[in-house]
Homo-oligomer: A and B are copies of this chain.
């Protein structure tokens, strides 16, 4: 599988924390605690981006409180609500102070619609390149990849099961789905990778995250599972000839179900079970 080097841009020094939604906010907060630690712990300056949500005040206040409680030095909530704001130097300067950026849930198209092709969008990429951790939950998880799932029904995988759109492109050749097992989304993830088996499908359960490191590997954090589907070995698919409502054919697909502490090499597409 000649996918070496294709997952992350070159010269990336940051990490991604991609969360499947509904992460624990009341108990141990393993995922959010991990994020704060990766962002610098007591030295961290965290920027919360509420662009995805229709309730930026409530959601912003909740994460501000949480990250402060978990020991962050400074927490800023930035509610970007139009593209001119996303193009302002002031916003970019605020972003540039961050040692960790956190995208809340909501609607992924609000994030890309507001930030895509703006100075703030570019600043995010630069932050990530120079070592800042970028995290996102739910819609904030979906936007991480170059193509993202924006909608689709549960059930039998079909061509018209899903709608896709261009994401932020922090990670390449991967498509992320969230609330994965809880909302029965295996069918729509398979439909996504069937369209181009070069793309690896990563389904993340609630209260579960992947921490993607500079070397193109991820580690699972949280209480549930991460499911990886790799359709590149598939000998055949009917995706191009099938009519919209027709069920897909994909065989074989390599699947990996991983829980906390397990690692996966996104470039070689293998789990690192014994290392």
Q: Using CB atoms and an 8 Å cutoff, list the residues of chain A in contact with chain B.
A: 154-157, 181-184, 186-187, 190, 205, 223-225, 229, 235-236, 238, 246-260, 262, 270-271, 273-274
Q: Contact between A254 and B253 (Cβ–Cβ < 8 Å)?
A: yes
Name which residue of chain B comes closest to A264, CB basis.
B251
In the complex with contacts A181-B155, A257-B157, A257-B190, A251-B235 CB distance below 8 A: no
Q: Which of B155, B229, B257, B274 contacts A248 (CB 8 A)?
A: B257
A259 CA to B225 CA in the complex, in Å?
27
Q: Contact between B249 and A258 (Cβ–Cβ < 8 Å)?
A: yes
Please name all residues of chain B whose beta carbon is closer than 8 Å to the beta carbon of A229 when the two chains form the complex.
255
A256 CA to B231 CA in the complex, in Å?
10
Please name all residues of chain B whose beta carbon is closer than 8 Å to the beta carbon of A271 when the two chains form the complex.
235, 251-252
Q: Contact between B255 and A254 (Cβ–Cβ < 8 Å)?
A: yes
Please name all residues of chain B whose beta carbon is closer than 8 Å to the beta carbon of A155 when the two chains form the complex.
181-182
A186 CA to B182 CA in the complex, in Å?
11
Q: Contact between B246 and A257 (Cβ–Cβ < 8 Å)?
A: no
A274 CA to B257 CA in the complex, in Å?
29
Please name all residues of chain B whose beta carbon is closer than 8 Å to the beta carbon of A225 when the two chains form the complex.
156-157, 247-249
Please name all residues of chain B whose beta carbon is closer than 8 Å to the beta carbon of A248 when the two chains form the complex.
225, 257, 259
A193 to chain B, nearest CB (A): 11
Shortest 3 CB-CB contacts between residues of A and residues of B: A184-B184, A251-B256, A251-B271
Please name all residues of chain B whose beta carbon is closer than 8 Å to the beta carbon of A156 when the two chains form the complex.
181-182, 205, 224-225
A260 CA to B246 CA in the complex, in Å?
10
Name which residue of chain B comes closest to A184, CB basis.
B184
A255 CA to B254 CA in the complex, in Å?
6
Q: Contact between A257 and B262 (Cβ–Cβ < 8 Å)?
A: no
Mind listing 28 A-B residue pairs with CB under 8 Å? A154-B181, A155-B181, A156-B181, A157-B181, A157-B225, A184-B184, A205-B247, A224-B247, A225-B248, A225-B249, A229-B255, A235-B271, A235-B274, A236-B274, A247-B257, A247-B260, A249-B257, A249-B262, A250-B255, A250-B257, A251-B257, A251-B271, A252-B254, A252-B256, A252-B271, A253-B256, A253-B257, A254-B254
A254 CA to B254 CA in the complex, in Å?
5
In the complex with contacts A181-B187, A225-B156, A225-B157, A249-B254 CB distance below 8 A: no
